[in-house]
Structures are given as C-alpha cells and as structure tokens.
Amino acid sequence: MRIGVLGTGNMADALATHWVRAGHEVTIGGRDTRRAERLATRIGGGAKPAGLRAAAAAAAPGARVVKAFNLCHEDVWRMRPPVFDARPLAVPVCGDDETALVRVRELVRDVGCEPVAGGGLERAGLLEATAALFIALWVGEGADAQAIAPPLAYAAGPSHSGTKGGMGADA
Ligand SMILES: NC(=O)c1ccc[n+]([C@@H]2O[C@H](COP(=O)([O-])OP(=O)(O)OC[C@H]3O[C@@H](n4cnc5c(N)ncnc54)[C@H](OP(=O)(O)O)[C@@H]3O)[C@@H](O)[C@H]2O)c1
C-alpha cells in the first residue's frame, strides 16, 4: 500500500514505523521538510520524506476519510504488539467507504491490533469524545477506563448473559 503520513510528530513516528516494517511504501509529509527527512531516516525501510502537499498527492488524490487510532497514547501504538491480558487491542474504525475501510483494517492488523466496526464517519466525533472521556478518567481521576464497560455478554443486561446473577436474577 502507498501511505502518505501528514505530520512528523509522535503519532507519525509510532504508526509509520509499524507500516514500514509491514512492507508498505510510506511517505512522511511535514510542513518542515527537514523534520520529515529526519523522521524518514530514523524509520528507514525506504520511508521517503516530502512536503505535506506531495505526501497527500502520492497517497490521496480523491481522498476518502477513515477515523481510527485516536483512543490510545502514542507509546501504546509503539508496542509490538499492543496486547493486554493476552488480547490484542481492539481499534474502532469509522468510515463510509468500504474500500477505504478494508485498507484501514489491514493497517490496524499491521500494528498488531484487531479492527472493530465503529460505524460510519458520522460517528468520528463520538470517537473523539470517547478519547476525551478516557483521558479525563486516566489523568484526572486515575481511574481505569477499561473498567467502565461490562463484558459483552452483559451488554444487554444480566438476564441476556446466559448466566444467573446480577440484581435479583435468582429470585
Ligand atoms: N500522541 C498521542 O498519544 C496521540 C494519541 C491519539 C491521538 N493523537 C492525535 O494525533 C494527532 C497528532 O498527535 P501527535 O502526538 O503526533 O502530535 P505532535 O507530536 O505534536 O505532532 C503534530 C504534527 O502535526 C503537525 N502540524 C500541527 N499543526 C499543523 C498545521 N496547522 N499544519 C500542518 N501541520 C501541522 C506538526 O508539524 P510541526 O512538526 O511542523 O510542528 C507535527 O508534525 C493529534 O490530532 C492528536 O490529538 C495523539
């Protein structure tokens, strides 16, 4: 796949490194081309530096937008792979274009994660809001954001879980 990364910061470094290793043709586009050169050199593997416009033109004429990778810290994306309690990190992906979604799911797997259908692009704002909530829990409260959702089997309540338990289920 030909990938144009717009930006030369932390996320560009973390994700482009995986994608170069996975064999993709990556162009690092920066408004400061020297930073793009430095990052491309550090990543290696044939990553090329470019300006923002050139990186977009290489990879995205008639671009289709998919939202993903916004819920975790850059250092989580640097993990090889991001696996917690023996489960690969699940990555919600929002988009309207199936062809683009197929490609982004591949990029998620290249990072060592499992893609999760997050719905259409109209839900991208919800992903941003989720990130804001998680960060507030982690940083503000020191709370484990993972702990705020029940297991899937309980998503519709204990009575749908196939187990007995919960409030009054045995009554
Ligand atoms: N870091 C994380 O853990 C994390 C996690 C999830 C999502 N995100 C999101 O991912 C995005 C990038 O985060 P980051 O941590 O990689 O940020 P970063 O290290 O600060 O890098 C930001 C990059 O964007 C470029 N940039 C900023 N404003 C620009 C503009 N107006 N026009 C062109 N380029 C511009 C910067 O260019 P210069 O180098 O020239 O300044 C830099 O290359 C942000 O939207 C952030 O919210 C970050």
Q: Are 167 and 158 in contact (CB under 8 A)?
A: yes
Burial 17-36 (b: 16+ CB within 10 A, else e): bbbbebebbbbbbbeebebb
Residue 152 is encoded by which pair of tokens? 């899937």
pLDDT tens track for 94-139: 999 999 999 999 999 999 999 999 999 999 999 999 999 999 999 9
26 within 8 A of 3, measured Cβ to Cβ: yes
Q: State the pLDDT at residue 56.
A: 86
Q: Tell whether ligand 1 has an atom less than 6 A from the beta carbon of residue 75.
A: no
Phi and psi, residue 63, nearest 5°? -60, 145
Q: Is the CB of 70 under 6 A from ligand 1?
A: yes
Are 27 and 35 spatial neighbours (Cβ–Cβ below 8 Å)?
no
